Amino acid sequence: MAGTGTITEQGITLSGASYAVAGRPILSGLTLSLTEARIGIVGRNGSGKTTLLRLMAGLVAPTEGAVRIEGADPADRKAMLRHLGILFQNPDHMILFPTVGEELAFGLRQMGESAERAAAAVDALLAAEGRAHWAKAATATLSQGQRHYLCLLSVLLMRPRTILLDEPFAGLDLPTQARLARRFATLPQRLVTISHDPAAVATADRVIWLDAGRVRADGPPADVLPAFTAEMARIGEADADADLAG
């Protein structure tokens, strides 16, 4: 399926954006301008990757600073649907409907399509994916990987110009990961991929290393990833859990 998106120059901008919960800073003073087609965000567990995604997606508002998607405030999700799609870290936090067909149709209905056209688009998509038999399947009976795939399909169906992917490969077996990676590579959209695994973002145009809510390094993967991998190995040697509360 072809996306309608063209990669614009404005992209995603954060200016001095911070986010704190109950006075505890989780993200501090991020200033970024993301215009590349493939962007990777890496960091340890708890470094604030998912929080950054939620901030960019307009699901939480920055406690300081501002976030703009192609010049607009992402908090108006309805207006943002064409700009930004989100693949959550946990598919179980994303699937809203009892059957696959309803789940897929929902996004299109939200974008103002009629029920009939949404249903037709869903059937066409599933047929193109070779999964026509999924339409009536119960979402609860799909395997973890299948649910993940369903979530991706529901995002792709809405054809947003930018897609935020939170740990898109977690919990998937190797063939599925490979298939998914190939699929991502062909997408015309801007992809922001969040991962703790450097391999997942090795082919990105730009990689941002997030550490304790701040940017630790930012640049092409060839510069950022070796340092990141070395640091992770160093921490792994030490007592890794000593700073879990961080």
Partner 1 sequence: MLTLTSPVETPLHRLPAGAKLAGLCLATVVLFRLDSPVPLGACLAMLAVLHLALGLRFASTALRLLVPLWPFVLVIAFWHLWLGEPAAGATILLRLVTAVAAANLVTMTTRLSDMVTVIEKIAAPLRRIGLSPRSLALAIALAIRFLPVLSQRMGQISEALRARSPRRAGYRVLIPACLAALDDAEHVAEALRARGGAG
> Of the candidates 5, 11, 40, 48, which one interacts with ligand ATP according to CB under 6 A?
48
Q: Give residues with Cβ within 8 angstroms of 157, minimum separation 6.
A: 1, 104, 107, 108, 121, 122, 125
> Residue 62 Cβ, how far from Mg ion at the closest point, in Å?
18
> Of the candidates 17, 26, 192, 207, which one interacts with ligand ATP according to CB under 6 A?
26
Residue 44 or 161: the one with the smaller Cβ distance to ligand ATP is 44
CB under 5 A: which stretch of 7-15, 35-43, 49-57, 109-117 binds Mg ion? 49-57
> Residue 246 Cβ, how far from partner 1 at the closest point, in Å?
23
> Of the candidates 13, 50, 162, 189, which one interacts with ligand ATP according to CB under 6 A?
50
> Of the candidates 12, 13, 34, 51, which one interacts with ligand ATP according to CB under 6 A?
51
- Residue 81 interacting entry, from partner 1, ligand ATP, Mg ion, none, C-beta within 5 to 8 Å by type: partner 1
Binding residues among 171-200 for partner 1 as defined by CB under 8 A: none
Q: What is the rounded radius of gyration, in angstroms, for the C-alpha atoms of the chain?
A: 18
**Dihedral of alpha carbons 77, 83, 87, 89, sign:** negative
Q: Give residues with Cβ within 8 angstroms of 103, minimum separation 6.
A: 95, 96, 97, 139, 150, 154
Q: Give residues with Cβ within 8 angstroms of 207, minimum separation 6.
A: 39, 40, 41, 42, 201, 217, 218, 219, 220, 221, 224, 225, 228
The single-letter DSSP state of residue 72 is B
CB-based contact 17:55 (threshold 8 Å): yes
> Residue 163 Cβ, how far from partner 1 at the closest point, in Å?
12
Looking at residue 116, its amino acid is E
Residues at the interface with partner 1 (CB under 8 A)? 54, 57, 59, 77-78, 81, 86, 88, 90, 92-98, 102, 106-107, 110-111, 138-140, 154, 158
Residues at the interface with Mg ion (CB under 5 A)? 50, 89
Residues at the interface with ligand ATP (CB under 6 A)? 21, 26, 43, 45-51, 89, 196
